[in-house]
Copies of this chain bind each other. A is one copy, B any other.
Amino acid sequence: MLSKKTKYGLKALSYLARQEGNTPVQVGEIASNENIPQKFLESILLTLRKSGCLGSKKGKHGGYYLIKKPSDIIMADVMRVLEGPIALVPCVSLNFYEKCDDCPDEISCSVHKLMIQVRDSTLNVFRNTTLADVSKTSKDMDLIK
């Protein structure tokens, strides 16, 4: 299951991607528009900024803004920052690998093989989706038709 943190983070990024210019948007505005507790969102945007997904400006008229084009922001990267490993078990994680306590032999572990398949299929989605895809509203989709 996705944590609220991840869900809120994605919605906030999507909100920023839907902005016209690149002027900073305040946490309060995002929070109220997306129904996210403001203080919680504050901490989430902070981690996104620290990981290089966002820029920020302090003080009056400050806020957060994207530092890359939405079409250059890969969801796999965002997901790893917000949610951590994409794999369902650490022993098949590409970026957060850990050996299992209970498995003497990884190669012959039945769970292992299955989880590699799941990881790859999930990764296939996240690697081929950008924030630009995610942030398209249904109104945008109508216009495309």
Contacts and interface: CB of A to CB of B under 8 A. Distances in A.
Contacts of A124: 121
Interface string A49-67: 0000000000000000000
A34 interface: yes
Contact of A138 (B85, B107, B122): B107
Contacts of A111: 7, 10-11, 14, 134
Interface string A118-145: 1001101110010001111111000000
Q: Is the interface of A mostly helix, strand, loop or mixed?
A: helix
Contact of A125 (B14, B121, B137): B121
Kindly report how many copies of this chain are found in the complex they form together. 2
Interface string A89-132: 11000000000011110011111011101100110111001000
Interface residues of A, number: 41
A122 B124 CA distance: 11
A103 B10 CA distance: 13
Interface of A: 1-2, 7, 10-11, 14, 34-36, 75, 85, 88-90, 101-104, 107-111, 113-115, 117-118, 121-122, 124-126, 129, 133-139
Given A1-B88, A118-B126, A121-B122, 6 more contacts: A35-B101, A35-B104, A110-B137, A113-B134, A121-B121, A121-B124
